[in-house]
Structures are given as structure tokens and as C-alpha cells.
Amino acid sequence: MGIRSPSQPSDADSISKEICHENGEPAAILDSYSAWLAKHPSALDTFDRMVAAAKGKKIVVFLDYDGTLSPIVEDPDKAFMSDTMRMAVHEVAHFFPTAIVSGRCLDKVSRFVQLKNVVYAGSHGMDISTPAGSLKQNNPKHETRTVDEQGNEVVHFQPAQEFLPQIQEMIQVLEEKIKTIKGATVEDNKFCISVHFRRVDEDDINTLQEMVNSIVEAYPNFRISGGKKVMEIRPCIDWDKGRALEYLLDTFGFNNASDFLPLYIGDDKTDEDAFKVIRHMGRGYPIIVSSVPRETKALYSLRDPDEVMSFLRRLARWKKSLGIP
């Protein structure tokens, strides 16, 4: 089994102290981060133990995008991924089945990532594209097939199709209403909507939230969840990043296997659904990206996208060193 309650890495304290000196954090924050790190040890510090437990098992990699592969920035349209991060993900995907699971719409996240050797799940898992044939598809109710530019058949799993007209209608209402709030923007993520307030004046945030709440109240089939300075509006269906992880594991052919370990790295509230599923499976590696203490179901942590990149590189290097194709 991949999951064990992780013990404190030997250098947890020295890491947090180093961080605090760099950032000049007060001692109280330093201590609570240190305590949190003891419960959610660094996946870099515990790397050797993690991969030792994975011997003879197949690791399946799931990666969130914003805040995980790209740093959080003011303008959501400029959340670019570095070429070095792209290379690290490419290498990992060469050795392990790899999926990018994002709140962004599928087109946008695949344009940001620009890799062909990964599978994409957009709209918090409500829009999944996988190549037909090589993988197992088994949910015909929500699956449609198209042919891509290269002439390859692609299967699209879209369990929230029926909500598209309402989503488009809501986007128009939201855009009209919130234009009075400076800095507020609406992002069309196809099967869900993000209302951003990162650039909204602190004094206007409550007004914006009330506006959005009252608009969404008129759509009883939709709910709002929180994120990083964003309100995420999505259909009330029993589907989230956790269900997407299960769907993808199944699609990758691991449904009946006992020798796989899901590894999920994410930084946001919606990633908790995937952490929960992995915890429930009792195997695998739920890893949160956070440099501050956070309530989480993840067992391990990484501080920021730079550490995510180091971890991914190390994972690929380890696999390569085994000499197994």
C-alpha cells in the first residue's frame, strides 16, 4: 500500500525556519507551519520512502494547473507555465500515465500546457478528452466521439452537457451585472464559470459576492464553491475532480488492478475532492501545494510550483534509473 500515515521528515523544522527567515514571517506563523509540515511532510523530503513503497506498482500522475504547474498571477489569462515546467511534465508523462485536471476549460488548459503526451480534464473534471482505442471508455451515456486535426479519434466525456445553455445565459447576466465592480471578471470555463475578484478593491468584494449569490440563486441547479480569490459556479451534479480521477483511472485500465498508485498534486479547494478519493482508496499520494498551513485531506505537501517541478523531475529520474521502459 502506498499510503501510510507519514511521519515527520527529519528536516521539517529546518525547512520552515529557512522559509521564515527568507520571508521575515513572525515566529507564530513559523511554528504553525512547522507543525503543519509535520502532519503533511514535504514530498521531496519523503521522496525515497514514497518511491520505495511504489516498487512493483504503477504510479499514475494527476496534476492540477493553476498554482501547481503555473504560479498564481493577477491576470488569469497570463498564468503561463514555464518551458522548464513543461519539460518536467513531458518527462513524467513519458514514464507514467499522466492527466492534467483543471478548473479551466479544456481548450484553455491544453493551450497553456501544450503537451501531447498527457490527457486533459477541464471544467473541474466535467470535460475529459481521451484518445479512442488505446484506452478503455465505458460511459457511453456522456461520451461522444470526434476526430482531431491529426485524424485521430477522440472520446469526450462531458457529464454536464445539458447545462450549457444555462451557463451561457448566466455568463451574460453576470457580465452585465458585475461591470459596475472595478476589477471583477467572469471567466467562461465551458461547463463552469469563474468570477474573479483578485483585482477587486477589498471594500467591493462583499458587494460582488452578494451580486453573484443573488444571480446564482435564480438557477437552483447550480452551486458556488470557493477558490483562490474566485467564486466557482458549477452545475449541481455528482461530479468533481475526485470522480474525474476515478474515471481516468478506469480509462487508463486500472479499474480492476491492484498494483497502481494514484499521485495527485493540487493547490486548491477543488483538489480536495481528489485527495479524498485517494484517501478512500487507501493507496497513493495526495500532495497539496501550499506554503501556509491549510486544512487538507492531502498527506504530503510541496511549497510552490518550483518544488512541484523539482519533485516531477526527481520522479522521472527515479523511473529512468530503474531502466524499465
Interacting residues with ligand L263DTV3 (CB under 6 A) = 64-67, 72-74, 76, 79, 102-104, 187, 189, 194, 196, 198, 227-230, 232, 268, 270
Between 110 and 189, whose beta carbon lies closer to ligand L263DTV3? Answer: 189
Between 12 and 119, whose beta carbon lies closer to ligand L263DTV3? Answer: 119
Shortest Cβ distance from residue 198 to ligand L263DTV3 (Å)?
4
> Residue 40: is it exposed, middle or buried by C-beta count within 10 angstroms (0-12/13-18/19+)?
buried
Between 102 and 137, whose beta carbon lies closer to ligand L263DTV3? Answer: 102
Report the Cα 195 to chain-centroid distance in Å: 18
How many other CB atoms sit within 10 Å of the CB of residue 25? 18
Shortest Cβ distance from residue 240 to ligand L263DTV3 (Å)?
11
Shortest Cβ distance from residue 224 to ligand L263DTV3 (Å)?
12
Among residues 62, 8, 36, the alpha carbon closest in space to that of 277 is found at 62
Q: Report the alpha-carbon distance of residue 73 to residue 92 in Å, rounded.
A: 25
Q: Report the alpha-carbon distance of residue 292 to residue 287 in Å, rounded.
A: 14
Shortest Cβ distance from residue 152 to ligand L263DTV3 (Å)?
25
If you count DSSP H runs as helices and E runs as strands, how many of each does the chain have, helices first?
10, 13
**Residue tagged 447545462 (cell numbers):** 163
Q: Euclidean distance between the first and final Cα of the chain, in Å?
A: 23
Residue nearest to ligand L263DTV3 according to CB distances in the complex? 103
How many other CB atoms sit within 10 Å of the CB of residue 236? 12
**3-class state of residue 147 by DSSP:** strand
Shortest Cβ distance from residue 182 to ligand L263DTV3 (Å)?
16
Between 232 and 272, whose beta carbon lies closer to ligand L263DTV3? Answer: 232
Shortest Cβ distance from residue 193 to ligand L263DTV3 (Å)?
8
Name the DSSP letter for residue 25: -
Between 77 and 176, whose beta carbon lies closer to ligand L263DTV3? Answer: 77
Shortest Cβ distance from residue 245 to ligand L263DTV3 (Å)?
13
Query: In this structure, what C-alpha cell is assigned to residue 35?
Result: 507543525
Between 5 and 206, whose beta carbon lies closer to ligand L263DTV3? Answer: 206
Between 66 and 91, whose beta carbon lies closer to ligand L263DTV3? Answer: 66
CA angle 138, 59, 122 (to 5 degrees): 50
DSSP string of 182-201, one letter each residue? TT-EEEE-SSSEEEE-TTS-
